[in-house]
Structure 1
Amino acid sequence: MQTIEINTTQNVVIQYEMAGLKERILAFFLDSLIIWSSVFILAAMLASTVGEVITYIVTSLIFFFYTLVSEIIMDGQTIGKKALKIKVIKLNGKEPVLSDYLLRWVFRIVDIYFSLGTIASILISSSDKGQRIGDMMANTVIIKTDPTIGFGLNDILKISSLENYNPEYPEARKLSEESMLLVQNLLHTINKHPNKAHGEALTMLVDKLCSELNIEEKPKDKKAFLKTLLKDYVVLTR
């Protein structure tokens, strides 16, 4: 599983799971199927009514501009990318703009069409960020929108002996595993990238959990509170 860390404009570091070559190729073939199906269907429908010239213009527009228009109106996705749960994002944490999508689209000629996908495949496989030329020029990467969670709470928190452990927050059993994974990820991020933005995120998460668990007295040591909550959850739910 290859990941990438992106520092957002709010100075918050977010870790994404990068889309692999397999997902990108499958998305490309799915989009190609959609394009060619649309071209053939429209050609059959329009040829007898508007003439060959208009038919050629309409089908050419679909063929050449499908990817560009789709990524612009679907926030970095085409139908193929959406089906494979991947999307285009910027490395600097900002939202991609029209010029970014244009650069990616223009360099498809070199990356994919002229080289039959060879250049794109080699660069995506060998690049640390999985970028083809178009991505390098536009400063973009493609990430998974539904990343694989390759670990559970038993892997996150190793407690050697629980026989005599007395949970401090029995209400922790009400929380979901997703909430606890979020707690662990935030603790990991804060330890690795301590800054004001992550400190604010820590405060917000602690306030939310205290509210959910009806804990009236807010803990002074927020990180210690979250670590204790993790332990309690593991003990109470295993």
Structure 2
Amino acid sequence: MQFVSITTPENIEVKFRLAGVGSRVVAAFIDYLIQGVVYLIFILALAGMNDPIEYFEGKNSYFLAIVLLIIVCVNYGYFIISEMVMNGRTLGKKALGLRTIRKNGQPMDIKHSLIRNLFRIFVDNYLVGILMIFFRGDDARLGDILASTMVIEEEKKELYDYFDDLSEDIKNKLTEDEKQLLITYINEKDEVSIDKEVLQQKIVDYFTSKYNDVDEEILSIVKK
């Protein structure tokens, strides 16, 4: 099990647990299985037509365009749309508790997703990705390297379970990055090398300076 440490813009060090090759392969298998089901539905839809060959006769260019569009949407669009909608997850990653983030700890944006999945289709799908994960110390495939992303294991506890004691006003103010920062600290605080009280105070000071009068509420989170 490998960890990577990142210093956030708030000068706080957080740890992420890198996803191993086994969980990533299983997640990818689930995603490809879902894609296969989509293709099967498309094939069955064609088979259900009275005479699909006769229907598309004379419309070869349209048919080819539709087929290519479906292939692009399923092979490429599935991963991009999933990662944007589910914050770095696909259905396969969600099932395995994995998530893709940028190497600076920030969530992915559309640019990073486009790059990493473009190389997934044209390079990493041909066993290159798996081989690179096996032989690289950071478990990164080519798409991850070029997009500056990494796949991490998420904590099993739901994200918002930690924030039940916060007021609705504070909950709405916190960004997803700030919530993830608090979650990471809570789960990794026993492994940090600096004094916990000092780190706690740094976190409280950051949120207090940004939001005003939240010190007691945030302190109740970091002391969990």
- Once the two structures are aligned, what percentage of the paired residues are identical? 25
Describe how 1:28-177 pairs up with structure 2 within 5 A. Answer: 28-45=28-45, 48=49, 53=63, 56-57=67-68, 59-60=70-71, 61-113=73-125, 116-117=126-127, 119-146=128-155
Pairwise CA distance, 1:137: 1.0
Supply the distance in 2 between the matched residues of 1:137 and 1:145 (Cα, whole angstroms).
Answer: 23
Supply the distance in 2 between the matched residues of 1:65 and 1:75 (Cα, whole angstroms).
Answer: 15
8 Å CA contact retained: 1:91, 1:140: yes
Correspondence 1:16 to 2:23? no
Supply the distance in 2 between the matched residues of 1:3 and 1:120 (Cα, whole angstroms).
Answer: 20
8 Å CA contact retained: 1:39, 1:63: no
Q: Secondary structure at the match of 1:92?
A: coil
Change (3 A) 1:58 1:103: closer
After superposition, give the CA deviation of every residue in 1:120-150 in whole Å (9 maximum; x if it has no partner). Answer: 12221232321111111111110001369xx
Q: Which has the larger radius of gyration?
A: 1
Supply the distance in 2 between the matched residues of 1:66 and 1:209 (Cα, whole angstroms).
Answer: 38
Pairwise CA distance, 1:202: 6.6
Change (3 A) 1:110 1:39: closer
TM-score (norm 1): 0.61
Change (3 A) 1:24 1:111: farther
Pairwise CA distance, 1:183: 7.0
Change (3 A) 1:67 1:209: closer
User: More deviation in 3-12 or 78-87?
Assistant: 3-12
Count the aligned residue pairs: 177
TM-score (norm 2): 0.64
After superposition, give the CA deviation of every residue in 1:51-74 in whole Å (9 maximum; x if it has no partner). Answer: 662762553222332112211221
Matched residue type, 1:43: I
- Measured on the aligned residues, the alpha-carbon RMSD in Å equals 3.6
Supply the distance in 2 between the matched residues of 1:35 and 1:45 (Cα, whole angstroms).
Answer: 15
Q: Secondary structure at the match of 1:5?
A: strand
Supply the distance in 2 between the matched residues of 1:58 and 1:208 (Cα, whole angstroms).
Answer: 50
User: More deviation in 121-130 or 21-30?
Assistant: 121-130
Supply the distance in 1 between the matched residues of 2:84 and 2:41 (Cα, whole angstroms).
Answer: 24
Unaligned runs of 5+ in 2: 57-62, 158-184, 208-214
Pairwise CA distance, 1:41: 1.0
Q: Secondary structure at the match of 1:191?
A: coil
The residue that corresponds to 1:3 in the other structure is: 3
Supply the distance in 2 between the matched residues of 1:139 and 1:131 (Cα, whole angstroms).
Answer: 9
After superposition, give the CA deviation of every residue in 1:173-202 in whole Å (9 maximum; x if it has no partner). Answer: xxxxxxxxx77943642617997x653237
Structure with the higher fraction of residues in helix conformation: 2
Pairwise CA distance, 1:110: 4.5
